[in-house]
Amino acid sequence: MKVNIKKLNDRAIVPSYGSEYAAGADLYACTEGEVTVAPHQTVVIPTGIALELPVGYAGLIYARSGLATKKGLAPANKVGVVDCDYRGEVKVSLHNHSDIPQTVSAGERIAQLIITPYVTAEFAVAEELSQTVRGAGGFGSTGSK
């Protein structure tokens, strides 16, 4: 699949896959220099790129396991969503889950982008819903007994 990107900054790095079968393409920090993220704080990091995703696809922004494990930095909203009609700069809200300040360097890989198809539902109001074994069982209702 071809996805057009626009570099909004000369320092922007085109997303890239770390291996032949990687599902996520790395997104890179496009900053003037280092950015410090205080403990338990969130900082919005620009990538310097905009995307043109095909209709019917979304870009999902996930944590990079190495950054999350080693520095405690992960997207604040857990999974960011880039809609196919969005043409603005892709930014990542990084949250520092650790108790010490963490630094993000210019050009550092900060998140990963997975491009996936989606379905747009047509919601219909109904008087009743079909019955299931689970029924209205909520959080934890399907765990071991």
At 64-74, the pLDDT tens digits run 999 999 999 99
Per the prediction, the chain carries an average pLDDT of 96
Give the CATH class of 4-117.
Answer: mainly beta
- pLDDT at residue 118, rounded to an integer: 97
* 6-17 mean pLDDT: 98
Confidence of residue 135 (pLDDT cuts 50, 70, 90): confident
Distance CA 82, CA 61 (A): 8
Burial (CB count <10 Å: 0-12, 13-18, 19+), residue 111:
buried
What is the distance between the terminal CA atoms of the chain, rounded to a whole angstrom? 46
Distance CA 42, CA 95 (A): 4
- Cβ proximity of 59 and 113 under 8 Å: yes
- pLDDT at residue 143, rounded to an integer: 74
Confidence of residue 139 (pLDDT cuts 50, 70, 90): confident
